[in-house]
Chain A
């Protein structure tokens, strides 16, 4: 069930069932009211554990949350950790040297300032600096984490990045694959890393993905075709 809410709206909840609050919901510590604090679509669903309530809203400023997969850039290196920026003008996060596969006190990771990394947010307390890791500490896997070599970064809104990553019905990547071969890493902090064999393909992908934001699904194919044609004709001239 989904309805449009704005911050402060009253919502109906079942008082007998435990409530699990997701993004965009706030539990007032004094009055114990449950309120939405972001404007968007309210989603409620029932599961074994109780009722889950969250607000699906789009925004551009990323706030770290535990479990998110993000693309970050290394901006500094210290005695025992890297400083990683997940968004311009946001507080940087820290990536410990020990948060890599096969890490030990003796061997340090080889990343330098300016490198792009794909990482997972492991702690995100309000009062402390957030931490990311390049190995999943919950199940020990390191698939996909680490250095992203070459390629280019596209900055998109957070809702668009979430659709790209989690929505299997989202046609953008399928349509893009008709035109070129590419490698992609999607960060929920609104940064998408893309790498192709040729520069013109990278430029076409960049423009396509940027332009598809806010458009409906059936327009994607035409937008992509237009950009790929543009780069091909420009090169041939």
Chain B
């Protein structure tokens, strides 16, 4: 088995995709390396028109390797082979060690299908403009990871069923965050043409939304057309009143001032 280098420069080859681990037993243990942040799987040409799959670094930084479970798309071929999976990551931040090679920085780019938290900056009749504040870091099934087995609720992934969010370090005060658009037809799944935007969102609301498209250079395109998406936090009277709580998917009420306002709310459970 080859030793991984401790530091890498961009383009440096770190390991082949498959390697054998030295072991005293007769059946060898295969190590399958998986790409983490800062690495890429490439086909490296060796002589004689042959190519070999290797993991190479894309960044300048320290090299980390972590044992991981089999990836979801792995099918066991036969029992005689023992395969270990390791994730190789290259980077500089301590977050790599803390998250065991999954994440490199707190700035995670939203990608299609990610659930994000955002704040409404402006509404118009056809769309709502938002600033993206945080990106969900786990892929959680639509029921928010809460399985129903008859007696109460059980988190599918064991432990807290709540989503964890990676908060963007970009400051929204100076407009550094990514921007998104929620079109009026993407606000809810029923009666999509008859959406009255003022009854769904107001400027200053915090929403949970899902990315449907990376969009153009200026805006991501988002949707709230699901039961668990929509307004999460809002203040009454555009921020002058107290915090409001959702009573049903169309209404929020503030216990302090007893005002009721219309919003498209996210189901908190």
Contacts and interface: CB of A to CB of B under 8 A. Distances in A.
B241 A29 contact: yes
Interface in A103-151: 125-129
B43 interface: no
Contacts of A128: 123-125, 197-198
Contacts of A126: 238
A126 B203 CA distance: 10
Q: How large is the interface on B (under 10, 10 to 19, 20 to 34, 35 or more residues)?
A: 10 to 19
B203 A127 contact: yes
A125 B241 contact: no
B238 A30 contact: no
Contact of B236 (A29, A32, A127, A129): A29
A129 B241 contact: no
Q: How large is the interface on A (under 10, 10 to 19, 20 to 34, 35 or more residues)?
A: under 10
A127 B198 contact: yes
B96 to A, nearest CB: 43
Interface string B200-227: 0011000000000000000000000000
B237 interface: yes
B125 A29 contact: no
B174 interface: no
B187 to A, nearest CB: 15
B125 A129 contact: yes
A29 B125 CA distance: 26
Contacts of A32: 257
B142 to A, nearest CB: 31
Contacts of A129: 124-125
Interface string B104-137: 0000000000000000000111000000000000
A217 B240 CA distance: 44
B198 A29 contact: no
A217 to B, nearest CB: 42
B259 interface: yes
A129 B125 CA distance: 8
A32 B242 CA distance: 12
Contacts of B257: 29-30, 32
A126 B239 CA distance: 13
Contacts of A29: 236-237, 240-242, 257, 259
A127 B256 CA distance: 23
Nearest to B257: A29
A29 B257 CA distance: 7
A30 B255 CA distance: 11
Interface of A: 29-30, 32, 125-129
8 contacts: A29-B242, A30-B240, A127-B202, A127-B238, A128-B124, A128-B197, A128-B198, A129-B125
Given A29-B242, A30-B257, A126-B238, 13 more contacts: A29-B237, A29-B257, A29-B259, A30-B242, A30-B256, A32-B257, A125-B198, A127-B123, A127-B202, A127-B238, A128-B124, A129-B124, A129-B125
